[in-house]
Structure 1
Amino acid sequence: MFSPRGPSLPELVTQALSSVERGYDLLAPKFEHTPFRTPDAVLDATAAALRPLGPFGRGLDVCCGTGAGLRVLGPLCRERVTGVDFSGGMLARARAAHPEADWVRADVRALPAGERFTGAFDLAVSFGALGHFLPAERPALFAGVRRALRPGGLFAFPVAAPPPVGSLPYWALLGFDTAMRLRNAVWRPPFVMYYGTCPLSAVRAELGAAGFGVTVVPLAELGRREDGAARCGLVLARRP
């Protein structure tokens, strides 16, 4: 599906009936050929918005997957870049594609302690990962990222504007989330992947509660909705 080099429908079904970790291990060899991989346009727009705020020292890619975030962190960071993910399969692909970076297998809800992660980074980014965390799990995620940043460090991630109510994308996302909730109600282990559980207002409040100062800048180059609002914004959460 998606492309001749992408996963087949049976492969996607097997992934969807697995845990999140096992599902991404299975998907890893073909992940780059699916729509789940963050598009280069989003990565480039993020890099352009961050460039005037840098340069940065060490960089951290939170839920790094196969390493697409290196397209942002590599040019912006003068020191070593680290990616962290809990899928060994995804990390193997990232390590093969970007041997110049460090790749760490860990649950980002409980990042390792010690000097390697505590107060070690100037810039952290994340792409397309928030839907894998239930609302009750995000405070631990944000607190962990804050601990990993040096004072003055920045956590940045793009967030798409919600589609207009009643539009085709609105019903598509609602249908997907509903299907995932039904799946998780009747099948174990759960596969957490929701698109409607992280509205910007809630994310801003949770980042603020974790001790970040938060602003949002529009990524205008990614287009605008009919009401004139940017289709995507970049959350900039800074550790004071």
Structure 2
Amino acid sequence: MFTSQGPTARELAVQALSSVERGYDLLSPKFDRTPFRTPDRMLDAVEETLAGREGSFGAGLDVCCGTGAGLGMLRRLCRDRVTGVDVSAGMLAQAALAHPDGVDFVRADALALPPALGDSYDLAVSFGAFGHFLPAERPALFAGVRAALRPGGLFAFPIGAPLPPSSRVWWMLAGFDAAMRVRNAVWRLPFVMYYRTFPLSGVRADLRAAGFTVETVPLEHFGRREDGSPHWRLVLARRP
């Protein structure tokens, strides 16, 4: 799964025993050479879908931008300023190296976005970060994003279809989540990262409770399951 330039098993173990912020500070120089980086195929699918439905946007915000995988897409979609927000200084440093011009960077917890970002953006996106938030934290997360958007602004992110328990991947993810719960129960510094705590039904309800209108569109780039439902959807949550 990892290239020879990626993190070693020891480095991953150290990260796993650190806090989320410190763990990503440590991993940041090699993060883009791991499978955890959002694939370009996903970024391209989201960009194409947003461009086809919405055209262009004014200002853009990448929530939990990490090393900046989504910032290039955001810059192409947005006419005005683009901002990347992340809690990890190390990840932001890598993002700044990849995008030295045209992007502002803000170090902040996504659960407490700075008031200065309020009513400023026409598009907010996020990729691969929602496993770092417990279900009870989603209302605060979504409320903060809504406050950052201008009226009519859009919060967009991909979400995958649930995997059947007969799938090998389902058991892998269930095993990872179980191990993470044990780790957090016995280790002082919590590292929140779960793969099965972000179901569409609960997410939709929390977005609506935060004041969004919500629709989803299939990301046809990834095909459909045997029952005809898409493997991936793009959630479009709009601030009225």
* 1:21-40 pair list within 5 angstroms: 21-40=21-40
Counterpart of 1:187 in structure 2 is: 187
TM-score, with normalisation over the residues of structure 1?
A: 0.97
* 1:225-240 pair list within 5 angstroms: 225-240=225-240
Counterpart of 1:90 in structure 2 is: 91
Residue 39 of structure 1, CA deviation: 0.3
TM-score, with normalisation over the residues of structure 2?
A: 0.97
Counterpart of 2:59 in structure 1 is: 58
Counterpart of 1:109 in structure 2 is: 111
> In 2, distance between residues paired with 1:10 and 1:140?
34
Runs of 4+ in 1 over 6 A off after TM superposition: none
Percent pairwise identity: 68
Matching residue's letter, 1:26: L
Residue 223 of structure 1, CA deviation: 2.6
Q: CA RMSD in A?
A: 0.9
> In 2, distance between residues paired with 1:50 and 1:239?
16
* 1:109-188 pair list within 5 angstroms: 109-114=111-116, 117-188=117-188
Residue 70 of structure 1, CA deviation: 1.2
Matching residue's letter, 2:89: G
Residue 192 of structure 1, CA deviation: 0.2
Matching residue's letter, 1:10: R
Residue 74 of structure 1, CA deviation: 1.1
Contact 1:3 1:33 in 2 (8 A): yes
Q: Aligned to 1:206, what secondary structure does the other structure show?
A: helix
Matching residue's letter, 2:93: A
Unaligned 5+ residue runs, structure 1?
none
Q: Deviations over 1:164-185 (max 9, x none)?
A: 1221111111111001001101
> In 2, distance between residues paired with 1:56 and 1:11?
40
Matching residue's letter, 1:54: G
Per mean C-alpha deviation after superposition, the further-off stretch among 164-173 and 86-95 is 164-173
Q: Deviations over 1:15-38 (max 9, x none)?
A: 000000000000000000111100
Q: Deviations over 1:144-193 (max 9, x none)?
A: 00000000000000011111122111111111100100110111201000
Q: Does residue 18 of structure 1 match 2:18?
A: yes
Q: Aligned to 1:141, what secondary structure does the other structure show?
A: helix
Matching residue's letter, 2:68: G
> In 2, distance between residues paired with 1:11 and 1:224?
37
Total equivalences in the alignment: 238
Contact 1:41 1:222 in 2 (8 A): no
Contact 1:120 1:150 in 2 (8 A): yes
Residue 135 of structure 1, CA deviation: 0.7
> In 2, distance between residues paired with 1:51 and 1:9?
40
Contact 1:43 1:71 in 2 (8 A): no
> In 2, distance between residues paired with 1:200 and 1:41?
21
Q: Aligned to 2:115, what secondary structure does the other structure show?
A: coil
Residue 120 of structure 1, CA deviation: 0.2
Q: Does residue 74 of structure 1 match 2:75?
A: yes
Unaligned 5+ residue runs, structure 2?
none
Q: Aligned to 1:224, what secondary structure does the other structure show?
A: coil
Q: Aligned to 2:217, what secondary structure does the other structure show?
A: strand
